[in-house]
Amino acid sequence: MTSRTSPGRGQRHNHPGFGDGVEQDGLPATAASALVAPSVSGRAPAVGENPLMTRSLPLDESGRPTEAGGAESERAPISRATDADDPLPDLGDGTLLDRQIGMRWTTTGNPHQGTEGLLWTAADTYCQGLALGGTASWRLPTQPELDSVLQRIDPTRYPWGATLWSSDRAFGESDRLWVTNSPLYAPAWSSSVRDASARRLTHRVVCVAPDTPQR
């Protein structure tokens, strides 16, 4: 294996232009760097100038300098999806648009943090009292609405929670339906009100509203 040693006094530096006080071929570092490191703009820096400070790099669309000029700076911008290509775009006001059913959803589940949720009555009250995105017509979603969106939404983009309330009841039952929201499995529905330890179940809530903001 070839060993790599640091350049000594009087030796040629492997990376010209980075003057560190070491002489290069008998010249002081600052003078040597001026001879071998012209700026990107084509002008050789004067003796004593730091060549890194004289570089004139082209700017990208955001005004930031690019790493190289020439053909590199003439590359076409990377194609990005527009709102029209997004089936569930974030509207930037705490809501997202569901283009398939023409409704809006809250972007996050409530409560936003922790593992605890709400009882159904508290979840219903939360949606009924919500004023967001220019509308106050929020409500709990129905089973078909939730079942549809959960099979299309990215849970890493919109963190709704592991279990969610609906507004519906199963036929002949008094308890409300809730759904398990898993990125790996289809939505699983239940109307159970207590867990195996007989503790009252609570779930998170997302709200839905027509895509017709009130003025």
Is residue 210 within a helix (H) or strand (E), and if so which, with residue range?
strand 208-210
Give the C-alpha separation, 105 to 58, whole Å. 43
Boundary of a domain, candidates 79, 98, 123: 79
Q: What is the pTM of this model?
A: 0.59
- Tell me, what CATH number does 129's domain have? 3.10.100
Is residue 167 within a helix (H) or strand (E), and if so which, with residue range?
strand 163-169
**Degrees to nearest 5, angle at CA 120 with 95 and 161:** 45
Please answer whether residues 17 and 37 qualify as being in contact, where contact means their C-beta atoms are separated by less than 8 angstroms: yes
* pLDDT tens track for 56-73: 555 666 566 555 444 443
Please answer whether residues 20 and 36 qualify as being in contact, where contact means their C-beta atoms are separated by less than 8 angstroms: no
Boundary of a domain, candidates 59, 79, 99: 79
Q: 16 is in which domain, residue-wise?
A: 1-79
Per the DSSP assignment, residues forming a β-bridge with 24 are 27
178 and 204 belong to one structural domain? yes
* pLDDT tens track for 135-153: 999 999 999 999 999 999 9
Give the C-alpha separation, 147 to 186, whole Å. 9
